[in-house]
Amino acid sequence: MEAREIKKVSEGEIVEKTMQMGDERSANFQIDMLNEGNYTFSGENPADEKAGFISFTEIEAFDGKRFQVFDAYAYNAENGITSEPGVQILEGDTIILYTKPAYYDEQVKGIYFIEFKRKTVVLSIDK
Protein backbone atom coordinates (compact mmCIF):
# COMPACT_ATOMS: atom_id res chain seq x y z
CA MET A 1 0.00 0.00 0.00
CA GLU A 2 2.87 2.35 0.72
CA ALA A 3 3.92 2.16 -2.94
CA ARG A 4 0.48 3.45 -3.92
CA GLU A 5 0.57 6.50 -1.69
CA ILE A 6 1.21 9.81 -3.41
CA LYS A 7 4.56 11.28 -2.45
CA LYS A 8 5.62 14.84 -3.08
CA VAL A 9 9.36 15.04 -3.39
CA SER A 10 11.56 17.78 -4.76
CA GLU A 11 14.18 17.40 -7.48
CA GLY A 12 16.77 18.13 -4.81
CA GLU A 13 15.55 15.20 -2.70
CA ILE A 14 15.65 12.93 -5.74
CA VAL A 15 19.20 13.98 -6.63
CA GLU A 16 20.33 13.60 -3.01
CA LYS A 17 18.76 10.13 -2.69
CA THR A 18 20.22 9.04 -6.04
CA MET A 19 23.68 10.17 -4.91
CA GLN A 20 23.30 8.19 -1.67
CA MET A 21 22.05 5.07 -3.48
CA GLY A 22 24.76 5.37 -6.14
CA ASP A 23 27.51 5.74 -3.56
CA GLU A 24 26.25 2.66 -1.69
CA ARG A 25 25.81 0.46 -4.76
CA SER A 26 29.04 1.48 -6.45
CA ALA A 27 31.19 0.91 -3.36
CA ASN A 28 31.99 -2.64 -4.56
CA PHE A 29 32.66 -1.69 -8.19
CA GLN A 30 36.15 -2.30 -9.51
CA ILE A 31 38.03 -2.67 -12.76
CA ASP A 32 40.97 -4.88 -13.59
CA MET A 33 43.24 -4.42 -16.59
CA LEU A 34 43.25 -7.18 -19.20
CA ASN A 35 45.84 -5.39 -21.32
CA GLU A 36 46.66 -1.76 -22.03
CA GLY A 37 43.39 0.12 -22.53
CA ASN A 38 41.12 -2.91 -21.92
CA TYR A 39 39.48 -3.44 -18.56
CA THR A 40 37.04 -5.84 -16.98
CA PHE A 41 34.30 -4.58 -14.68
CA SER A 42 33.01 -6.34 -11.61
CA GLY A 43 30.33 -5.31 -9.18
CA GLU A 44 26.89 -6.31 -7.99
CA ASN A 45 23.78 -4.42 -8.90
CA PRO A 46 20.05 -5.14 -8.72
CA ALA A 47 18.48 -6.63 -11.83
CA ASP A 48 16.30 -3.56 -12.45
CA GLU A 49 19.31 -1.24 -12.78
CA LYS A 50 21.76 -0.88 -15.62
CA ALA A 51 25.27 -0.45 -14.26
CA GLY A 52 28.81 -0.80 -15.49
CA PHE A 53 32.04 0.80 -16.60
CA ILE A 54 32.75 2.97 -19.64
CA SER A 55 36.39 3.48 -20.62
CA PHE A 56 37.33 6.81 -22.13
CA THR A 57 37.85 5.12 -25.50
CA GLU A 58 34.18 4.04 -25.54
CA ILE A 59 32.43 7.35 -24.91
CA GLU A 60 32.09 8.14 -28.63
CA ALA A 61 29.42 5.40 -28.81
CA PHE A 62 27.06 7.59 -26.77
CA ASP A 63 25.16 10.72 -27.66
CA GLY A 64 23.14 13.43 -25.97
CA LYS A 65 23.47 14.02 -22.27
CA ARG A 66 25.25 10.72 -21.62
CA PHE A 67 28.03 11.71 -24.06
CA GLN A 68 28.31 15.16 -22.48
CA VAL A 69 28.67 13.69 -18.99
CA PHE A 70 31.17 11.00 -20.04
CA ASP A 71 33.14 13.50 -22.13
CA ALA A 72 33.41 15.88 -19.15
CA TYR A 73 35.01 13.09 -17.10
CA ALA A 74 37.44 12.37 -19.96
CA TYR A 75 38.32 16.08 -20.29
CA ASN A 76 38.97 16.34 -16.56
CA ALA A 77 41.19 13.23 -16.59
CA GLU A 78 43.21 14.52 -19.55
CA ASN A 79 43.73 17.87 -17.85
CA GLY A 80 44.52 16.64 -14.33
CA ILE A 81 41.23 17.91 -12.88
CA THR A 82 39.68 15.82 -10.12
CA SER A 83 36.17 14.56 -10.92
CA GLU A 84 33.49 13.88 -8.33
CA PRO A 85 30.45 11.60 -8.46
CA GLY A 86 27.48 13.17 -10.20
CA VAL A 87 23.77 12.76 -10.90
CA GLN A 88 21.94 13.68 -14.12
CA ILE A 89 18.24 13.35 -14.91
CA LEU A 90 17.75 11.76 -18.35
CA GLU A 91 15.09 10.66 -20.83
CA GLY A 92 12.10 12.76 -19.91
CA ASP A 93 12.77 12.43 -16.19
CA THR A 94 12.34 8.63 -16.18
CA ILE A 95 16.03 7.67 -15.82
CA ILE A 96 18.51 9.13 -13.35
CA LEU A 97 22.18 8.61 -14.18
CA TYR A 98 24.71 8.27 -11.36
CA THR A 99 28.37 8.50 -12.40
CA LYS A 100 31.73 8.47 -10.69
CA PRO A 101 35.35 8.20 -11.83
CA ALA A 102 36.80 4.67 -12.13
CA TYR A 103 40.37 4.31 -10.92
CA TYR A 104 43.02 1.72 -11.73
CA ASP A 105 46.46 2.12 -10.17
CA GLU A 106 45.41 5.52 -8.81
CA GLN A 107 44.66 6.85 -12.32
CA VAL A 108 41.20 7.55 -13.74
CA LYS A 109 40.56 5.13 -16.60
CA GLY A 110 36.85 5.71 -17.18
CA ILE A 111 33.49 6.10 -15.54
CA TYR A 112 31.34 3.87 -13.38
CA PHE A 113 27.65 4.41 -14.01
CA ILE A 114 24.28 3.30 -12.67
CA GLU A 115 20.98 4.11 -14.36
CA PHE A 116 18.24 4.31 -11.75
CA LYS A 117 14.54 4.36 -12.58
CA ARG A 118 13.04 7.53 -11.17
CA LYS A 119 10.20 5.53 -9.63
CA THR A 120 12.69 3.37 -7.68
CA VAL A 121 14.41 6.45 -6.27
CA VAL A 122 11.17 8.22 -5.35
CA LEU A 123 9.75 5.15 -3.60
CA SER A 124 12.95 4.81 -1.56
CA ILE A 125 12.62 8.33 -0.12
CA ASP A 126 11.18 8.22 3.38
CA LYS A 127 8.47 10.80 3.92
The string of pLDDT tens digits covering residues 61-81 is 998 999 999 999 999 999 999
The 8-class DSSP code of residue 16 comes to H
CA atoms of 124 and 9, how far apart (whole Å): 11
Report pLDDT for 87.
97
CA atoms of 110 and 54, how far apart (whole Å): 6
The whole-number average pLDDT for the span 42-55 is: 82
pTM (2 d.p.): 0.89
The string of pLDDT tens digits covering residues 78-121 is 999 999 999 999 877 899 999 999 999 889 999 999 999 998 99
